Amino acid sequence: MTDRADLFERVLRLEPGRTALLVVDMQRGFLDPGAAMEVPEARAIVATVAGLIALFRRQGLPVVFSQFVYSPAVPLLVGDLHPEHRPAVPGAPTGFGRPSSSCLLGDPSVEVVPVLAPALGELTVRKHWYDAFAGTPLDGALRAQGVRSLVVTGTMTDICVLATVAGAFNREYRVTVVEDAVATLWPEIQQATLDIIRRAYGRVVPAKVVAAELAAC
């Protein structure tokens, strides 16, 4: 297959004044040590994500957060496939494969980790599926601000990040994924997912490239 990197670079380059940052699911339920659905690798990207958040804020560009939230009132398939999201049973063991109230509505695990906490006035969308666009006001909110280019960070690369990237692409956003600001549990899956994205959905670049492009805008 012929490489399309040059074409993607030309078509998907960040647009001045029309670019937003999306922080996907950097929540306590995935980052807290010992959490039932802990992604230790996500803690390693916190500093890079924080740097991008600060950069976008200085530039006056939108910063948006997503949170995965499970609720027994919305008993979706994800609760069957990932029982950790279901309410913990008092006195029963919790952890991987067990009901643990992970990212359960009302539980502290839903919240974005404090070091990345949204600022007053920044949009946080709560989602019930992997894709941050599905069933949320994200698309409308971005369009209302004239956003066409979307810089994506967060966890997990192969699940919620990938689903959100596909959702963005299907809504005509120009997607840039920051390779050192996304994380998953397995290095080989990380690389495979980034390869899928760069082949079909968007650019994959390091944070320093995003910073340089914003500085040049």
pLDDT at residue 92, rounded to an integer:
94
pTM: 0.96
Which backbone phi and psi does 16 adopt, to 5 degrees? -55, 130
Three-state SS at 68: strand
Q: How far is CA 28 from the centre of its chain?
A: 14
Token readout for 30 is 């995935």
pLDDT at residue 217, rounded to an integer:
77
Instruction: Report yes or no on 128 lying in a domain.
Output: yes
Instruction: Report yes or no on 77 lying in a domain.
Output: no
Count the domains in the chain: 1
CATH code, domain with 209: 3.40.50.850
Instruction: Report yes or no on 95 lying in a domain.
Output: no
Instruction: Report yes or no on 78 lying in a domain.
Output: no
pLDDT at residue 4, rounded to an integer:
83
Instruction: Report yes or no on 92 lying in a domain.
Output: no
Which backbone phi and psi does 114 adopt, to 5 degrees? -55, -35
DSSP per residue, 54-68: HHHHHHT--EEEEEE
Residue with tokens 């899956």: 189
pLDDT at residue 157, rounded to an integer:
98
Instruction: Report yes or no on 104 lying in a domain.
Output: no
> What is the number of helices (H) and of strands (E) in the chain?
9, 6
Residue type at position 107: D
Instruction: Report yes or no on 176 lying in a domain.
Output: yes
Q: How many residues does the chain have?
A: 217
pLDDT at residue 173, rounded to an integer:
98
**Other beta carbons within 10 Å of 175:** 22
Q: Which domain holds residue 13?
A: 5-70+112-216
DSSP per residue, 125-172: EEESSSSTTTTSSHHHHHHHTT--EEEEEEE-IIIIIHHHHHHHHTTT
pLDDT tens, the chain, 217 aa long: 457 889 999 999 999 999 999 999 999 999 999 999 999 999 999 999 999 999 999 999 999 999 999 999 999 999 999 999 999 999 999 999 999 999 999 999 999 999 999 999 999 999 999 999 999 999 999 999 999 999 999 999 999 999 999 999 999 999 999 999 999 999 999 999 999 999 999 999 999 999 999 998 7
Instruction: Report yes or no on 106 lying in a domain.
Output: no
Three-state SS at 47: helix
